[in-house]
Structure 1
């Protein structure tokens, strides 16, 4: 999706006689998603939200999303991308997946589902649907299971 400034709704500082462009359907959907999550739809959040949520289910890293934003002419700092991803995660719009202890992926599908992580390639993909976990351990007394992450790490076989 092209991320030119004309896709971003005018802010309150545009003046009483200036009317901003009508947001297109994608921007409007993203705007509503942010508002429903309790987030103020800033220019940065809208720009990153369009990249994240209007392209189907995705796994992204902060660095990868930063590169996408630059390619889409949305000039943001890497720190802004990290902050926005963390805000989206806290609001329940994303799920953080720590694949290798260093690199985090952000998943637009927030449901509980397992992943394959391809070591050396830094790629995270969903396992096939229909995989069922028949035995999940009970939480310890006084605790509840907050989340369940299953990541199967793969690497290429040595020849």
Structure 2
């Protein structure tokens, strides 16, 4: 890790209201170094191990949820058994490629959503997630 990367991650954490601990900085470096992407707890843990970051799976899980609560990343529940974390927190939707467990962004401008139900009293819609599931065409 370079000093510039450490400072960037430290600033990102501080700006989000999180204390920049060594583990948070190291995980933030890994998460944001590759630009916008979707990853699971297990994938980030594997990247951390490969990078020599001494961190448990539970710590990665807790840190990703802290980053989510701080608004640094978004949770994307595509399957009941697997949760993805999205570094792109702007309004957008997703393609999910079944069988490959791959998630791709769809720009929000490509989908129009209308006729949303009125939320219950005292509630407001924060955002709408659309997941378009894809699979390879079968040969006939």
> What TM-score comes out, normalization by structure 2 length?
0.91
2:93 paired with 1:93: no
Q: Which runs of 5+ in 1 are unaligned?
A: 8-23
Q: Deviations over 1:21-68 (max 9, x none)?
A: xxx111101100001111011111011000112321111111001111
Deviation at 1:141, TM superposition (A): 4.5
2:98 paired with 1:125: no
Partner of residue 150 from structure 1, selected from 126, 130, 137? 130
Number of matched residues?
Answer: 138
Residue 26 (structure 1) aligns with:
5
- C-alpha distance in 2 between matches for 1:93 and 1:62: 15
Residue 48 (structure 1) aligns with:
27
Q: Deviations over 1:69-93 (max 9, x none)?
A: 1111112111110000000000000
Residue 112 (structure 1) aligns with:
91
Runs of 4+ in 1 over 2 A off after TM superposition: 138-141
- C-alpha distance in 1 between matches for 2:50 and 2:16: 27
Residue 38 (structure 1) aligns with:
17
| Greater Cα radius of gyration, structure 1 or 2 | 1
- C-alpha distance in 1 between matches for 2:5 and 2:128: 32
**Aligned alpha-carbon RMSD (Å):** 1.5
